[in-house]
Amino acid sequence: MFKFLSSEPLHQPLDAPTPVDETTIKCTTCYMCACRCGIRVHLREGEDGPEVRYIDGNPNHPLNQGVICAKGASGIMKQKSPARLTQPLLRKAGSARGAAEFEAISWERAYELLTTRLAHIRATDPKKFALFTGRDQMQALTGLFARQFGTPNYAAHGGFCSVNMAAGMIYSVGGSFWEFGGPDLERAKVFVMIGTAEDHHSNPMKIAISKFKREGGRFISINPVRTGYSAIADEWIPIKPGTDGALLMALLHELIRTDTLDHALLKRFTNAPQLVVLDEGPREGLFAFDPNPEKGPPGDGRNPHNKLIFDKASGQVLNAYPEGIADGCDPALEGRYTLADGTRVAPSFQLLRDRVASCTPEWAATITGIAAERIVALAQEMGHAALQQAFELPIPWTDAWGKLHPTTQARPLAFHAMRGLAAHSNGFQTVRALAVLMSVLGTIDAPGGFRHKAPYPRHIVPNYRAFNSPEMIQPNTPLNAAPLGFPAHPDELAINPDGSPIRIDHAFSWEHPLSAHGVMHNVITNATRGDPYRIDTLLMFMANMAWNSTMNTMAIREMLNRKDEQGEFMIPFVVVCDAFQSETVAFADLVLPDTTYLERHDVMGMLDRPISEFDGPVDSVRVPVVKPLGECKPFQEVLIELAGRLKFPAFTTAEGGRKFTGYPDFVVNFQPQPGIGFLMGWRGKNGDEHLRGEPNPKQWEAYEQNNCVFQYHMPKTMHYMRNWNREYLDFAKEKGWRQKNDPVQLAIYSDTLQSFRLAAQGKAEGRQPPEHLRERIDTYFDPLPFWYAPLEDAATDLGSYPLNAITQRPMAMYHSWDSQNAWLRQIHSHNYLNVNPRTALAAGIADGGWAWVESQWGKVRCMVRHSEAVEPGTVWTWNAIGKADGAWQLAPGSDEARKGFLLNHLISEELPMRGTPSGTVSNSDPITGQAGWYDVRVRIRPASPDEAGETFPQMDSMPTVPGVVGKAAQVLRYFAGGKKS
Residues lying near ligand SF4 in the complex (CB under 6 A) are found at 30, 32-33, 35-37, 64, 68-69, 71-72, 202-203
Question: Which residue, 72 or 634, has its beta carbon nearer to ligand SF4?
Answer: 72
Question: Which residue, 64 or 581, has its beta carbon nearer to ligand SF4?
Answer: 64
**Shortest gap between Cβ of 709 and ligand SF4 (angstroms)?**
13
**Shortest gap between Cβ of 820 and ligand SF4 (angstroms)?**
15
Residue 143's Cβ-count burial label (10 Å; 0-12, 13-18, 19+) is buried
Question: Which residue, 32 or 329, has its beta carbon nearer to ligand SF4?
Answer: 32
**Shortest gap between Cβ of 28 and ligand SF4 (angstroms)?**
11
CA 398 – CA 459 distance, rounded (Å): 19
Question: Which residue, 69 or 516, has its beta carbon nearer to ligand SF4?
Answer: 69
Question: Which residue, 35 or 545, has its beta carbon nearer to ligand SF4?
Answer: 35
Alpha carbon distances (Å) from 316 to 295, 304, 313, 334, 626: 18, 20, 8, 14, 70
**Shortest gap between Cβ of 202 and ligand SF4 (angstroms)?**
4
Beta-carbon-side half-sphere exposure of residue 574 (alpha carbons within 13 Å): 30
| Total Cβ atoms within 10 A of residue 7 | 9
For residue 62, the 8-state DSSP code is T
Question: Which residue, 28 or 550, has its beta carbon nearer to ligand SF4?
Answer: 28
Question: Which residue, 56 or 279, has its beta carbon nearer to ligand SF4?
Answer: 56
Question: Which residue, 557 or 815, has its beta carbon nearer to ligand SF4?
Answer: 815
Question: Which residue, 157 or 240, has its beta carbon nearer to ligand SF4?
Answer: 157
**Shortest gap between Cβ of 744 and ligand SF4 (angstroms)?**
30
Question: Which residue, 32 or 77, has its beta carbon nearer to ligand SF4?
Answer: 32
First to last CA, the chain: 19
| Closest listed residue to residue 156, CA positions, set 144, 173, 139, 175 | 139
**Shortest gap between Cβ of 162 and ligand SF4 (angstroms)?**
17
Question: Which residue, 73 or 441, has its beta carbon nearer to ligand SF4?
Answer: 73
Residue 286's Cβ-count burial label (10 Å; 0-12, 13-18, 19+) is buried
- Strands (E) located in 778-825: 803-808
| Closest listed residue to residue 411, CA positions, set 386, 392, 433 | 386
| Closest listed residue to residue 161, CA positions, set 417, 420, 416, 423 | 423
Residues 6+ positions from 974 with CB-CB distance below 8 Å: 9, 10, 11, 13
Amino acid symbol at 93: A
Strands 573-578 and 537-541: parallel
Question: Which residue, 58 or 834, has its beta carbon nearer to ligand SF4?
Answer: 58
Q: Which uninterrupted H or E stretch holds 618?
A: strand 618-622
Number of residue whose CB is nearest ligand SF4: 72
| Helices and strands per DSSP (H, E), number in the chain | 25, 36
Question: Which residue, 33 or 851, has its beta carbon nearer to ligand SF4?
Answer: 33
Q: What is the DSSP string of 485-547?
A: ----SGGGS-B-TTS-BSSTT-TTSTTSTT-TT--GGGHHHHHHHTSS---SEEEEES--TTT
**Shortest gap between Cβ of 134 and ligand SF4 (angstroms)?**
16
**Shortest gap between Cβ of 83 and ligand SF4 (angstroms)?**
18
What would you report as the CA-atom Rg of the chain, rounded to the nearest whole angstrom? 28
Q: What is the DSSP string of 329-342?
A: --B-SS--EE-TTS
Residues 6+ positions from 558 with CB-CB distance below 8 Å: none
**Shortest gap between Cβ of 137 and ligand SF4 (angstroms)?**
11
**Phi, psi of 896, rounded to the nearest 5 degrees:** -60, -35
> 386 and 443 in contact (C-beta within 8 Å)?
yes
CA 626 – CA 53 distance, rounded (Å): 11
